[in-house]
Amino acid sequence: MDITIPLIVGSAVIDSVNPCAFAVLIFLILYLMTVRNKKKMLFFGLVYIFVIFLVYFTAGLGLLSFVKSIALTKFFYHFTAGLAIILGLINLKDFFWYGKGITLQIPKSQKERLDKYIKRATLPATIILGVLVALFELPCTGGVYLAIISLLADKQTWWSAFFNLLVYNIVFVLPLLVILVAVYKGLPPEKVEKWRQEKKKWMKLSIGLVLVLLGVIMLLI
Percent of the chain with pLDDT over 70: 83
User: Beta-carbon neighbour count of residue 35 at 10 Å?
Assistant: 10
Q: Is the pLDDT of residue 140 over 70?
A: no
pLDDT (0 to 100) of residue 28: 75
Percent of the chain with pLDDT over 90: 6
Q: Is the pLDDT of residue 19 over 60?
A: yes
Which residues, in sequence order, are CB contacts of 78 under 8 Å at separation 6+? 218, 219
CB-count burial class (<10 Å; 0-12, 13-18, 19+) for 204: buried
Q: What is the four-CA torsion angle of 108, 111, 49, 121, rounded to 10 degrees? A: 180
Q: Is the pLDDT of residue 103 over 70?
A: no
User: Beta-carbon neighbour count of residue 26 at 10 Å?
Assistant: 22
Segments in the chain forming alpha helices (H): 5-16, 19-34, 38-69, 73-96, 108-120, 123-136, 138-155, 158-184, 189-220
* Residue 53 C-alpha from the chain's centroid: 9
54-72 average pLDDT score: 81
Range from 114-128, 141-155, 170-184 that averages highest in pLDDT: 170-184
Q: What is the SS3 assignment for 60?
A: helix
What tens digit of pLDDT does each residue of 150-185 get?
Answer: 888 777 788 888 999 999 999 988 888 888 888 888
- C-alpha span between 122 and 118 (Å, rounded): 9
Q: What is the SS3 assignment for 185?
A: coil
Farthest-apart Cα atoms in the chain, separation: 54
213-217 average pLDDT score: 80
Q: What is the pTM of this model?
A: 0.78
14-35 average pLDDT score: 72
pLDDT (0 to 100) of residue 84: 78
Range from 76-90, 157-171, 194-208 that averages highest in pLDDT: 157-171
Q: Is the pLDDT of residue 54 over 90?
A: yes
HSE (side-chain half, CA atoms, 13 Å) at 144:
28
Q: What is the DSSP letter of 123?
A: H
The chain-wide mean pLDDT, for the chain, equals 78
* Confidence label for 109 from pLDDT (cuts 50, 70 and 90): low
Higher pLDDT, 47 or 199: 47
pLDDT (0 to 100) of residue 35: 63
Tell me which of 55-64, 84-93, 125-134, 190-199 is least confident: 190-199
Q: How far is CA 36 from CA 29, 32, 120, in A?
A: 11, 7, 15
Q: Smallest Cα–Cα separation from 207: which of 53, 83, 81, 92?
A: 92
65-90 average pLDDT score: 75
